[in-house]
Structure 1
Amino acid sequence: MGIYEERAEQVEPKQKLLSWRTKFAESRKTRPVELLFAIGGLSPTGNVSGIECYNPLEHEWRILGPVSRHRSRAGVAALNGSIYAVGGHDGLVCLSSVERYDLEINEWKRDVASLSAPKQDVAVAELGGYLYCVGGHDGLLCVNTVERYDPLVNKWCKVAPMNHRRRGLGVAVLDGYLYAVGGSDGRSPLYSVERYDPVEDRWTPCAPLRSCRENLGCATFRGKIYAVGGRDDLTELSSVERFDPLTNEWSAVPSMKSKRSQVSLAVANGYLLAVGGYDGVVHVSTVEAFDWELNAWRRFGNTQTRHPGGGVTAIQISSDDLDFSELPRTR
């Protein structure tokens, strides 16, 4: 199965992403590397973004190819070496379909079960070998539903709903819990945070954010949850805060250099990276990294293209098993 255009016609990938080597002994020590992938996005003018990969060994983003289906405001997460694009909006309607990108062969596959209902503005995360699709908007209403994907049986099933309806929320996994952070209830941005216990199948309230945020970036870094950017009642935000589970409190962190709503936040190779977003005027391609030691944000280059409403995720791979010379160059 190859990459598909919107007409569902098969398009052969121009080049494989990875070259797996077999000549190394099993006992050889390897150094893990996390590749960062920016997936899709659809601008108001109809321009569609493809797939980009950040190679930390060369500090360079490279365009790998087109997306399988046009998606904006989809959930993006990695599971078992594949990247999943969940739900979203194709410019006309909300989507229930789910696809996975097999990075080993640089192909999209449509062998994943669909969600129970179309949704956009969802958040997706991996926990315990499952994918969780949290909240969203079904085209009419903001929802509080949560679905869990089991890759062994290729099936989504509903679990306990959140206490609040949320779209444009952030999700993060910490200490075996799934946190739902901020978002909007369809009327206004939210301060509230809640966490899901997969053992008890129950959501419980947590300490609220210091600032209400929707379309924020959210990730776990060094044992704490970071909530960055987004939008409040008035404007796009550059402010950042983090949650410490030991104190059960959110505290302020130095702001990013740019305002970023619809920002993607990811952790890769020891960095907390804020990728893209909307600054109130344009969708940006800049990337910022949080320097833990200096407690400050710094510039970290640019993606090749903008990804409005796209998603970012990281996948860890052994550097000894990769031949980066076979990644397609774009500059």
Structure 2
Amino acid sequence: MGVQHERGEQLALEKKPLIRTLPVGPAGTRNAQNVDLLFAVGGWNASGDVSCVECYNPLLHGWKVNSPVPMKRCGLGVTTLNNFIYVVGGFDGILHLSSVIRYDAKTNEWQRDVASLNEGKRDMGVAELGDFLYSVGGHDGITCLNTVERYDLSKNEWCKMAPMNIRRTALGVVAINGYLYAIGGSNGKSPLNSVERYSPEENSWSLCPALGTCRENFGCAVFQGKIYVVGGRDSIMEHCSAERFDPLTNWWSPMVPMKSKRNKVCLAVANGFLLAVGGFDGTIHLNTVEMFDPETNTWRLFTAMQQRHPGGGVGVVRLETYE
């Protein structure tokens, strides 16, 4: 399948390495470590702000701005497959995009040789499961979707899978224990608390226990064998609340809230920490990050990003880097 170029999309291919190899030290060794690098990717709003890619390296204790996303887009899906970051669909202010691009953190290079989705959409959920990339739900500019597409890297093509039972946009999607979970979101009229689970072996969806709170545009991630959901918005206000799902008990339980309200927040796991990145508190777009400490059951402030990423996403890749 070919790559679709919406509105003459220009893809700048930068080949400046992101991971720098330092000179060998006096003892003939280098202090190399395998670490998770956290990337905040893209984002755009009506004011015309276009965000780039910036990276948090725990060995450098800070965020570094890297190459920009080749085309402005918000409501994009971001996930990692084979240690590459994939940016899926989104909205450029006029069109709902079907294009998919891939970021190589080793070379700081954007690649455009990825097949496009079968339909343009924004605010979908994306996740990796079984060496496949899934795009779930979203909005095509007219209606909320229940469609599901799966990307096969070996064939470089997307194919449609069984649709969800419920139309969902601004949902959360995660993979755990061989299943894909589609969580909350909106049906286009109101936020949802319903949850459904996809079995790739049966190519079918089944309903699961519901969230304690209806919410859309929240952060969602798997951490220490449980599904965590934080922030988002109901039909009235932004949330700082959080809850988690234990697949063993098949139940959601509330947890300590974040320090800030965060609608459109991104949630990621890197270097053993659960991180809530950015979001909108009802007044401003945030560049702050909060970290959850399971031992103390508290959230605390983490190193803030250099930029804000409204409608962007986050991805994590594990690379060998040097102090």
Normalising by structure 1, we get a TM-score of: 0.91
User: What is the SS of the residue equivalent to 2:279?
Assistant: strand
Distance in 2, Cα, partners of 1:50 & 1:297? 27
**Shift in Å at residue 69 of structure 1?**
1.1
User: What is the SS of the residue equivalent to 1:237?
Assistant: coil
Distance in 2, Cα, partners of 1:10 & 1:86? 14
Distance in 1, Cα, partners of 2:90 & 2:282? 22
What amino acid does structure 1 have at the position aligned with 2:115?
A
- Give the ranges of 4+ consecutive aligned residues of structure 1 lying more than 4 Å apart after TM superposition: 6-12, 20-23, 28-31
What is the number of equivalent residue pairs in this alignment?
A: 313
Q: Is structure 2 residue 102 aligned with structure 1 residue 100?
A: yes
Distance in 1, Cα, partners of 2:149 & 2:22? 37
What amino acid does structure 1 have at the position aligned with 2:16?
Q
Distance in 1, Cα, partners of 2:186 & 2:11? 38
**Structure 1 residues 275-324: Cα deviation after superposition (integer angstroms, max 9, x where no partner):** 00010011100000000100010000211100000000111123xxx246
What amino acid does structure 1 have at the position aligned with 2:66?
L
Aligned to 2:65: 63
**Structure 1 residues 253-284: Cα deviation after superposition (integer angstroms, max 9, x where no partner):** 00000000100000000100000001001110
Distance in 2, Cα, partners of 1:229 & 1:223? 20
The 1:32/1:246 distance shift into structure 2, 3 A limit, reads same
Counterparts of residues 27-106 of structure 1 (less than 5 Å):
31-106=33-108
Aligned to 1:175: 177
Distance in 2, Cα, partners of 1:230 & 1:106? 31
Distance in 2, Cα, partners of 1:48 & 1:31? 33
Distance in 2, Cα, partners of 1:256 & 1:265? 12
Distance in 2, Cα, partners of 1:208 & 1:119? 25
User: What is the SS of the residue equivalent to 1:97?
Assistant: strand
The 1:317/1:14 distance shift into structure 2, 3 A limit, reads closer
Identity of aligned residues (%): 57
Distance in 2, Cα, partners of 1:14 & 1:285? 27
Does the CA-based 8 Å contact 2:219-2:267 persist in structure 1?
yes
**Structure 1 residues 208-241: Cα deviation after superposition (integer angstroms, max 9, x where no partner):** 0000010010000000000100001110000000
Distance in 1, Cα, partners of 2:21 & 2:32? 14
Decide which of 211, 220, 228 is 1:209's aligned counterpart: 211
Unmatched 5+ stretches in structure 1: 325-331
The 1:174/1:9 distance shift into structure 2, 3 A limit, reads closer
Counterparts of residues 52-201 of structure 1 (less than 5 Å):
52-201=54-203
Does the CA-based 8 Å contact 1:237-1:259 persist in structure 2?
yes
Does the CA-based 8 Å contact 2:16-2:109 persist in structure 1?
no
Distance in 1, Cα, partners of 2:107 & 2:319? 14
What amino acid does structure 1 have at the position aligned with 2:318?
Q
Q: Is structure 2 residue 277 aligned with structure 1 residue 266?
A: no
**Shift in Å at residue 118 of structure 1?**
0.4
Distance in 1, Cα, partners of 2:240 & 2:13? 41
Deviates more, 1:12-21 or 1:212-221: 12-21
Unmatched 5+ stretches in structure 2: 25-29
**Shift in Å at residue 74 of structure 1?**
0.6
RMSD: 2.0
Does the CA-based 8 Å contact 2:12-2:70 persist in structure 1?
no
